[in-house]
Amino acid sequence: MKAFAKYLLIWVSQNLAVPFWVVGHVHLSLNVYQDMHEIMMSMGMNIIVILGIIVDYRDKKDDSEREEDDNDNDIPIGWI
């Protein structure tokens, strides 16, 4: 379940970040927020996107570090 939640968070952040921000900015420019519910929902969507970006970045960073560690042992004899 934890892996699915992590995957879902990353998927939502990567696929819905641009629509959230574009629609949000258009909505902000056309309307005045007077309802606390709208403000909280907007903040919540942005927090979900930011968390997904951070989680994905950390996963990619860990993967690249593992690949670098694996490649250290693959030096051809001709280079030594």
Residues 3-24 pLDDT 10s: 898 888 888 888 877 777 777 6
Q: Is the residue at 53 inside a domain?
A: yes
- pLDDT for position 32: 65
* pLDDT band per the 50, 70, 90 thresholds, residue 27: low
pLDDT tens readout for residues 29-43: 666 666 777 777 778
pLDDT score at 33: 62
Q: Is residue 73 part of a domain?
A: no
- The 10 Å Cβ neighbour count of residue 36 is 8
In terms of pTM, does the model score above 0.75? Answer: no
Half-sphere exposure of 55 (CA within 13 A, CB side): 18
Please report whether residue 1 resides in a domain. no
Q: Which domain holds residue 57?
A: 7-61
Q: How many structural domains are present in the chain?
A: 1
